Structure 1
């Protein structure tokens, strides 16, 4: 938020747990109360405590479903009625290349990202001429992704792979590109990954 303010912009925030529908609704309500409208909702919350299915980390599986799938749906539930009433709005959903290329230890994570991809495409088809819907699938990005991986071997392997990761700014620029297009242009899917990622 400091970077936004340093650039002369305004930034507001409230604590938001995307697993709580009321929190997501409160975030949308804050935007409307502050600015009279909501133009774009970017659903970026996600976790990836990946590991082998044999580990039976059911709590991790449930957390991924709650955040990566239900959190995305709660954002849609909060913003879609408003976007319909405004007759304009743009959903930008951050997905993952893990939902495109399935690899060992990421079955549940990839499943949640594929659910997000399906929801995003369904929403795009249902949106009609007034709303826009964009799915962005990043590859390896320099984030705290590995912090949630409890299996030491999986974590070590992922940390090694993260050496090629791109900056989060690259994902932000992809979102900005989709948003700044004319109102009648809908950028459906963007895949962005390090050049070294296979």
Structure 2
């Protein structure tokens, strides 16, 4: 997909990232997940990267290691609760603990409701909502065993507004927002929760759109788009805060866009 306006930001200069943490990132093979891995590796954190495309993860982990970072990878399907548990336990086994889980994996096959693409609805619910819940269920006991942790859940500006063809997608992101706020309220200081809601961002999300009209509309909508590194910077900011500071919500939009 071609965007008419883009912004480049690929060189990371760590700015007081704080102590090194163990961070697990879902959906790390491309887009926001990959950019977050690059930024957090530059900040000195130790990473476990998860996604279904293991070949991409392997290449990214090797690149980060060669650049002085510490990154390992594991195949991950967030719709499979057992797979997510294995992913979280792998982080603990390899690095001794898990400090941060970035629940980033997501899909966005937009279409009007009257197209009745129920298989795509189910896929969005499974990845975007159940994937986050599986991450929380797997990581919460591990984090608490080691004294606390931090969930960074990736939502969307669609968590605050609804647009045509995006009803189900927005519903999943509203759910992620609600789940994040519920987890924050139920925590007693040991668990931090950050909701990051990107506006239009360069990624492969729109590649999942099979409805022709929705796909064409998204090309126009994405004419002005942030680089994924802008979202990675926001995540890095939240992760770098001291333990007594919980950055609850960050919304990041292109300055040149009204969306």
Check whether TM > 0.5.
Answer: yes
Displacement of 1:85: 1.3
For 2:207, the equivalent position in structure 1 comes to 147
Taking the aligned partners of 1:187 and 1:111, their CA distance within structure 2 comes to 23
Displacement of 1:126: 0.8
For 2:34, the equivalent position in structure 1 comes to none
Displacement of 1:196: 2.3
Write 1 or 2 for the structure with the bigger share of helix: 1
Q: CA RMSD in A?
A: 1.0
When normalised by structure 2's length, the TM-score is: 0.75
Q: Is the 8 A contact 2:106 2:205 kept in 1?
A: no
Q: Pick the aligned partner of 1:83 from 129, 133, 143.
A: 143
For 2:71, the equivalent position in structure 1 comes to 11
**1:87 alignment partner, SS class:** coil
Displacement of 1:92: 0.2
Displacement of 1:193: 1.1
Segments of structure 1 that go 5 or more residues without pairing to the other structure are none
Q: Is the 8 A contact 1:69 1:116 kept in 2?
A: yes
Taking the aligned partners of 2:86 and 2:110, their CA distance within structure 1 comes to 30
Segments of structure 2 that go 5 or more residues without pairing to the other structure are 1-59
Q: Is the 8 A contact 1:139 1:197 kept in 2?
A: no
**1:171 alignment partner, SS class:** helix
**CA displacement 1:94-151 (0-9 Å, x = unmatched):** 0000121211110000000000000000001111111110000001110112111111
When normalised by structure 1's length, the TM-score is: 0.97
**1:159 alignment partner, SS class:** helix
